[in-house]
Structure 1
Amino acid sequence: MEVSQLLKKQIKDDVNYLILDSRKNSAHGDVDFKWYYYNTLRFNKMKPNDIFIYRRPAKGNKERIFYFYGGGVIQHIEKIDDQGNVRARIKMPLNFCLL
C-alpha cells in the first residue's frame, strides 16, 4: 500500500498538518518515530490523528542547513506533569532516508 493511501485513511476534516523540530540528541527525551515531547503552555495545537513532518533545525547539524527527514501520525498524547509537559506517541512512522 502506498503512503498516500495510508494517509488518506487518517485524514479527517479537523486534522492538522504540522512540522515538528527534532534534534539528534534531545534533552527532552524525544525518540524519533516513537515519542515527541512538548509543552502545552507554549505549543498546544497538536492532537491525535494530526499528520506531521520532522524537520532537523540548522543548529542541529554540521552543514548548518535544515532538512526534512521523516514524518508520521500522532497516535495519542499523554500528560506528564502539571507544568504542561506532555508526550505524543507516533504511529505510522515514515523515514525518508529509508525510501
Structure 2
Amino acid sequence: METSPASADPTVSRIILNAKDPAAHAYVDDLTSLASAKSKARRLLEGFDGLLLPTTTEHPSIADVVAEPLAINRRMGTFTNFCNLLDMAAVAVPGQATDAGHPFG
C-alpha cells in the first residue's frame, strides 16, 4: 500500500497503512483487553440463544459515504461490529421498510 497502487481503494489503503503505527506493546494490551471482553460477553450471554439488534443506525447516500467513508461505516456498525471482535456469528434479516421507505433489518 505504501507504493499507492492505482487499483487500491484509498480508504482501504489508509486503514491498512494506519495499522503499522501502534507499538507492539499496545497491540498486546489490545489483545488482552479483547480476550477479557470475550470472556465477559460469554458469561453475560450464557443461556441466551441469540440477540436481536438493529442492523444499522442510518441510511447514508453514496455521496455521504464518499465524503466520510470511515465515519459513516463506523456509525453503521454501531450495533453489529462487536460480533466480529467477539467471534460471534451475525445474520441480517430483512424487515419491514421504514416509513421513509428505507430497508430495515
TM-score interval w.r.t. the shorter chain? under 0.3
The structure with the greater share of residues assigned to strand is 1
Higher percent of residues as helix = 2
Higher relative contact order at CA 8 Å, sep ≥6: structure 1 or structure 2?
1
Q: TM-score, normalised to structure 1's length?
A: 0.25
